[in-house]
Amino acid sequence: MRAFILEHASPAEQNPLHEADLPIPRPGPGQVRVKVHACGLCHTDLHTVEGDLPPHKRPVVPGHQIVGFIDALGANVTSHKEGDRVGIAWLYSTCGVCEFCRRGLENLCPSAQFTGYDLDGGYAEYTVVPADFCYPIPPVFSDENAAPLLCAGIIGYRSYRLAGVRPAENLGLYGFGASAHLVIQLARHQKSNVFVFTRSESHRALARELGAVWTSRAEDTPPEPLHAAIIFAPAGSLVPQALRVLRKAGTLALAGITMSEIPALDYALLYHEKTVRSVANSTRQDAREFLQLAAEVPLQTEVQVFDLGQANHALRALKNSEIRGAGVLRVSRG
Ligand SMILES: [Zn+2]
Ligand SMILES: [Zn+2]
C-alpha cells in the first residue's frame, strides 16, 4: 500500500516524510482494518515529524484524524461489520485497569498508546485499530469534512467542556485554527458570546463569519471581561494576557500538547479564584459525545484538501498558518 513514513525527524521545510510501499496491515484479534479515505492534519503531526515529541516508533506513519471504511475484521469483533464508516482519533488504546482508566480519565492512562505515534496512522491507504477505539461517523459529514472533527474537534470539545462556559457567558479563544473554528460553533450553538484573539487577519475574518462578537489581537482588551478562555496557540506568553481579561472565578484552559515557557506571573493575575488547567488528549466518551453534538449543530468544517502525495507541502502550510480552517489529506476513494 502507499504510505508516507517518517524515519528521521527534521524541519517541515526539509520534506521529512518519504513515500513508501508498505504491506497492507492485517487486523489482529479485536482489531479492525480501515481503508483510509481522508486523514486530517494536526499540529501534533508537525511536532512528530519535526522531533518536538520524543520518537516512539521509527519508521512511523503519522496521522490520527482518520476517516474510512472497515474492510476486514480481526477475530472476535462483533461491534462492527465490513463496510461501516468509522473515524479513528489520537487515542489508540488504553489499559482499562489503571486508576485513571477506572476513574473515567483514560486520557491520562500511563499505558495509553497513540495513533500515528506509537502505532502507524492515516497517512497511508490502510490502517488497523482496536474495534473499541473507532467511532461511527454521522452521515451528515463527508469524509473530508469529518476528518478534522477527530482531533481538532474532540480536543476542542474537551477544552470547551473543561473551560466550563455557560449560556450567555463570554468565552475567549486564543488562536483560531482547526480546533477553534469548531469550538466557536459549539459555543454559539449553546448561546455563549465568543471573543477571538489571533494575529492572523484571515483567521479574524473567518471568526467573524462564524459569529465571533469581537476579534482582535492577544494584547488588546475586549469590551467585557471573559468568564472562560481557551488558549489553542502553543505560546506561553498568552497565559498572562488571557488571565488579565478573565473575570473572577474564571477558567483558562490550555489545549496544546506543547507550549513555550509561561512567563512569571504576578499573583494578582491569578487571584480571585481563577483556574488555569491543561487539557491532555481525550477519552472515547469525549469522542462519542462530541460526534453526536457535531451532527446535531451541525458543525461546518472549513477544510483545505490536499492529495496524500502533498503531505510534506501540507505540513509546511500548517506550520506557516496558511491553512484556512483545517487541512485534510485525501487518501483514497471508493
Ligand atoms: Zn491531533
Ligand atoms: Zn489505564
The mean pLDDT value for 78-94 works out to: 97
User: Which ligand gives the minimal distance to the CA of 99?
Assistant: 2
Confidence of residue 321 (pLDDT cuts 50, 70, 90): confident
The amino acid at 54: P
Q: Cα(283) to centroid of ligand 2, in Å?
A: 11
Orientation of helix 180-189 relative to helix 201-209, angle to 10°: 30
Per DSSP, which regions of the chain are E strands? 2-6, 17-21, 31-40, 66-73, 85-88, 91-93, 113-114, 126-130, 134-136, 170-174, 193-197, 214-216, 226-231, 246-254, 275-278, 303-307, 326-330
pLDDT digits (tens, 9 = 90+) for 54-71: 999 999 999 999 999 999
CB-proximal residues (5 Å) to ion ligand 1: 42, 44, 151
User: Which ligand gives the minimal distance to the CA of 112?
Assistant: 2
Residue 290's nearest CA partner among 212, 194, 182, 211 is 182
Q: Is the pLDDT of residue 106 over 60?
A: yes
What is the per-residue pLDDT for 257?
Answer: 83
What is the per-residue pLDDT for 334?
Answer: 54
Q: Cα(49) to centroid of ligand 2, in Å?
A: 27
The mean pLDDT value for 247-275 works out to: 96
User: Which ligand gives the minimal distance to the CA of 101?
Assistant: 2
What is the per-residue pLDDT for 324?
Answer: 78
Q: Cα(106) to centroid of ligand 2, in Å?
A: 6
What is the per-residue pLDDT for 48?
Answer: 94
Q: Cα(131) to centroid of ligand 2, in Å?
A: 17
The mean pLDDT value for 218-244 works out to: 97
Query: CB-based burial of residue 142 (10 Å sphere; 0-12 exposed, 13-18 middle, 19+ buried)?
Result: middle
Residue 127's nearest CA partner among 217, 5, 240 is 5
pLDDT digits (tens, 9 = 90+) for 174-186: 999 889 999 999 9
Residues 6+ apart with CB under 8 A from 62: 4, 6, 17, 45, 48, 49, 116, 117, 121, 122, 123
Residue 87's nearest CA partner among 153, 137, 37 is 137
Dihedral over Cα of 52, 315, 128, 3: its sign:
negative
Q: Is the pLDDT of residue 323 over 90?
A: no
Residues 6+ apart with CB under 8 A from 161: 286
pLDDT digits (tens, 9 = 90+) for 71-82: 999 999 999 999
The mean pLDDT value for 281-309 works out to: 96
Q: Cα(290) to centroid of ligand 1, in Å?
A: 15
* Cα 90-98-275 angle, rounded to 5 deg: 65
Q: Cα(229) to centroid of ligand 2, in Å?
A: 29
Q: Cα(262) to centroid of ligand 1, in Å?
A: 22
Element (H, E) at 296: helix 284-296
The mean pLDDT value for 9-14 works out to: 97
The answer to whether residues 118 and 72 touch, using CB atoms and an 8 Å cutoff, is no
Query: CB-based burial of residue 195 (10 Å sphere; 0-12 exposed, 13-18 middle, 19+ buried)?
Result: buried
Local structure of 53: helix, strand or coil: coil
- Across the chain, what does the average pLDDT equal? 96
| C-alpha span between 101 and 112 (Å, rounded) | 10
What is the per-residue pLDDT for 178?
Answer: 85
What is the per-residue pLDDT for 5?
Answer: 98
Element (H, E) at 161: helix 152-163
Q: Cα(108) to centroid of ligand 2, in Å?
A: 7
Q: Cα(286) to centroid of ligand 1, in Å?
A: 14
| C-alpha span between 113 and 93 (Å, rounded) | 5
Q: Cα(212) to centroid of ligand 1, in Å?
A: 24
Quick one: cell of 78?
Answer: 462483533
Give percent of the chain above pLDDT 70. Answer: 99
User: Which ligand gives the minimal distance to the CA of 63?
Assistant: 1
What is the per-residue pLDDT for 195?
Answer: 98
| C-alpha span between 130 and 299 (Å, rounded) | 27
Neighbouring C-alpha atoms within 13 Å toward the C-beta of 232 = 29
pLDDT digits (tens, 9 = 90+) for 149-167: 999 999 999 999 999 999 9
The mean pLDDT value for 3-11 works out to: 97
What is the per-residue pLDDT for 175?
Answer: 94
